[in-house]
Structure 1
Amino acid sequence: MSTISTEEQTAMCESFARLLAEKSGEAQVRDAMETELGYDAALWTSMADMGLLGVLVDPAHGGIGGGAVLLEALLEEAGKHLLCSPFISTSVIAANLVAASDDDCLKEEILGAICTGEMIFAVAATGDKGLWTTEDIDLRAETVGDDWVVDGSASFVLHAKGAHQFLLLAQTTDGLRALVADAEQDGMALDPMQANDPALRLSRLQCSGVNARLLTGVDEADIDSALNLARIAQAAEHAGGVKRIFDITIEYLQTRHQFGRQIGSYQSLKHMAADMLVEVESAASAARHAARAWDAGADDTQTLVSLAAFAGADAYRDVTAQAIQLHGGIAYTWEHPAHLFWRRARTGLWLFGSSDQHRETYLASLENA
């Protein structure tokens, strides 16, 4: 349980919002999209200086010991500004799984480096189908002497370019396990993959005799937990993004005039805006509720995470599409930001599991309750 006060959390979010307003505006996002890494390394360093990269890391390892509620609030700000970064792969998934290990030496080595921004993780957690389930993982790990060796392939690997370490989820004789592998070694081949979001760098990874270190003490339950935390983080990004594009659209409806009238005064457009607002509020409510349940260790956490995952993804998809329609022809131009939010929303429909998968999980959990 986080000991950070509500006032301290609010101050952190406000500071982060100011940082993003300064360094992750539309122009900077467009510049970052054109880079090889897909993000601004200087902004990543600034986030480390603020302690944000260690939001989930225990203070004993250089973090701030925050929980899901603080993570959710910070990621809403990130979503509003279309933050381009390997934050979820490094500071959420990798940090969570390394912290769950009983290898104190490994934790000492990695967690501090995550907090300072010196170690970036790529995450290989699904196969060619992109289902983000245990059955879809094609990497295999086995012991050769005293070492662990990984073979096979993974797709939709997050932020492999520029990563220092790979977090590999692999099948073993004891079930699904998590391993850490140095990015600078033979036996790893990367092929870039296309994504709707031009800021997201995805790769297909082929491993052949890759040496890796097992995260001892981490089992399939821990892996599921880390991926669910990533889903909360992404739902928060969706909530922030959908709120921002909604605000942009409302501002346009209030300032654009046609046939001598403010277009926002037309009743049909008011109805569309009202429906969009319901989606905006639903996405934020679901993400925040899931975060609170996570921190409280509630019995229905899985149910609420699934709800947040599909509610946020669907809301982002629908609101960005309606925003483009309400803006008219200008929203179809490269210069307008609407398509940037739409592209981010399209990616969110399948990253860490599809919206349909999460809906099915949610309904199944309700039936079994």
Structure 2
Amino acid sequence: MTTETRSTPTPAPDPDLLYSEDEEALRDAVRALLTDRSDPATVLAAVESDVPYSPTLGSARAGGAPSALWRSLATEIGTAGLLVPEKLGGAGASTRETAVVLEELGRAVAPVPYLTSAVLAVTALLGCDHEDAEVAGALTALAAGTTVGALAVPLTTAPGGPPEPTVRAAADGTLTGRVTSVADAAAADLLLVPAQGPDGPALFAVEAAADGVRTERVTPLDLTRPLAHLTLDGARGRLLATGDRAREAVDRALLTGAGLLASEQLGVAEWCLAETVRHTAERTQFGRPIGSFQALKHRMAALWLEVASARAAARNAADALAIGSPDAPVAVAVAQAYCAPVAVRAAEECVQLHGGIGMTWEHPAHLYLKRAKADELTLGTPGRHREALAGLVDLGAP
């Protein structure tokens, strides 16, 4: 009689939701830079200017040398290359560190192309062959911060099997098609374009200034994250990946972007909560700070609990992506399904408890409300992520 032996699956490690000393040091550096050069009042003045895009958002294509803010953030602090391997000029860090940067960028609603260039574009390239000179060169340029990249998909595209590309690739590598609502496309130097080629899906690199490339700026709800429609008319592309590898590279970029977007939403919510607490502690009515009234205390306490839970969800997603956990899609879906509504609710409470002042241009609260609402649609709505989560854990339709 033989006894059947079964291997016991190795349990996944417990998530690490705490911040390391290095992560806190990175946070301090990024927060100090943003406080000095991109505080909410500065961002508010920038989006009200006649310049089509904020002067803090610069690239070689948009006006010569990169802007001072982007140069300091991307190059001097080195955040643009956090996800890039050291051998290609990056820091060789993980999504945990990148999440810390996005928390601070969300807290400042900073109009920089970090999510689009340092996360989406970099992660898509990391899914290609690093030994390929084209891929390695693009990663090195993005890590240096001298090149701004953009993944040419609509900003609302969710992970979990991106739709069939709207761009067609000919056998000679020329691309034709149109992609709508691409974030930071007008400021990008390098476009990563998913396309349908003669032999299936493919991913191409296209110089944004090349012949046959046209960007049409559109006015987004969130003026701190510019959108543009991208039209390719016989533009020359350089092949990066084909087949399943191209499809998986794009989907991995979308998954990573969605997971790290939760940290940006956390930063938005944290600023709104802190600003609301500050305001209600200073504004008096009937001889008392309005924050001492029980009804407002309860509202802010409930919001604090939601923000604390959002922090746990966002950190769990960043940690799962960092360690390559097989449960990363579940963690990302949970984070997006929870953090997006919390950011919106925190921004709405900020406006409400400021007595409606956030509906005027004089206070930056409306910037956070618009960022939160736009982020709620970015890389999949909460409903889309709840639906994905139900499928991932075999719950059926939500």
TM over 0.5: yes
Deviation at 1:319, TM superposition (A): 1.3
Task: Write out per-residue CA displacement over residues 267-326 of structure 1, whole angstroms, 9 at most, x where no aligned residue.
Answer: 111121122112211221111001111122222110110111121111111111121111
Structure 1 Cα separation of the partners of residues 150 and 92 of structure 2: 22
Task: Write out per-residue CA displacement over residues 192-229 of structure 1, whole angstroms, 9 at most, x where no aligned residue.
Answer: 22211111110111111111112136332221111111
SS in 1 for 2:192: strand
Q: Quick check: 19-28 or 98-107, which moved more?
A: 98-107
Work out whether 1:13 is the aligned partner of 2:39: no
RMSD value, Cα: 2.0
SS in 2 for 1:170: strand
Matching of residues 173-188 of structure 1 within 5 Å? 173-188=198-213
Structure 1 Cα separation of the partners of residues 288 and 395 of structure 2: 53
Contact 2:44 2:364 in 1 (8 A): no
Deviation at 1:359, TM superposition (A): 1.6
**Which residue does the alignment assign to 1:259?**
286
The counterpart of 1:190, out of the listed 194, 201, 215, is 215
- Specify whether residues 176 and 259 from structure 1 end up closer, same or farther in structure 2 by C-alpha distance, changes over 3 A only: farther
Contact 2:260 2:317 in 1 (8 A): no
Contact 1:124 1:169 in 2 (8 A): yes
**Which residue does the alignment assign to 2:365?**
338
Task: Write out per-residue CA displacement over residues 131-167 of structure 1, whole angstroms, 9 at most, x where no aligned residue.
Answer: 67622631222322xxx12111101111122321111
Which consecutive unaligned segments of at least 5 residues does structure 1 have? none
Supply the AA of the counterpart residue of 1:366.
V
**Which residue does the alignment assign to 2:151?**
123
Structure 1 Cα separation of the partners of residues 365 and 227 of structure 2: 23
Matching of residues 1-369 of structure 1 within 5 Å? 6-33=20-47, 34=49, 35-40=51-56, 41-47=67-73, 48-102=75-129, 103-126=131-154, 134-135=162-163, 137-144=165-172, 148-216=173-241, 218-367=245-394
Compute the TM-score of the two structures, normalised by the length of structure 1: 0.92
Contact 1:130 1:155 in 2 (8 A): no
- Specify whether residues 176 and 352 from structure 1 end up closer, same or farther in structure 2 by C-alpha distance, changes over 3 A only: farther
Structure 2 Cα separation of the partners of residues 221 and 368 of structure 1: 25
Structure 2 Cα separation of the partners of residues 96 and 108 of structure 1: 13
Moved over 4 A (4+): 129-133
Contact 1:240 1:284 in 2 (8 A): no
Deviation at 1:11, TM superposition (A): 1.6
SS in 1 for 2:223: coil
Which consecutive unaligned segments of at least 5 residues does structure 2 have? 1-18, 57-66
- Specify whether residues 130 and 8 from structure 1 end up closer, same or farther in structure 2 by C-alpha distance, changes over 3 A only: closer
SS in 2 for 1:171: strand
Aligned residues: 361
- Specify whether residues 167 and 38 from structure 1 end up closer, same or farther in structure 2 by C-alpha distance, changes over 3 A only: farther
SS in 1 for 2:211: coil
Deviation at 1:28, TM superposition (A): 2.2
Q: Quick check: 162-171 or 28-37, which moved more?
A: 28-37
Supply the AA of the counterpart residue of 1:139.
V
- Specify whether residues 202 and 283 from structure 1 end up closer, same or farther in structure 2 by C-alpha distance, changes over 3 A only: same
Contact 2:127 2:248 in 1 (8 A): no
- % identity of equivalent residues: 30
- Specify whether residues 199 and 25 from structure 1 end up closer, same or farther in structure 2 by C-alpha distance, changes over 3 A only: same
Supply the AA of the counterpart residue of 1:63.
G
- Specify whether residues 173 and 274 from structure 1 end up closer, same or farther in structure 2 by C-alpha distance, changes over 3 A only: farther
Supply the AA of the counterpart residue of 2:163.
E
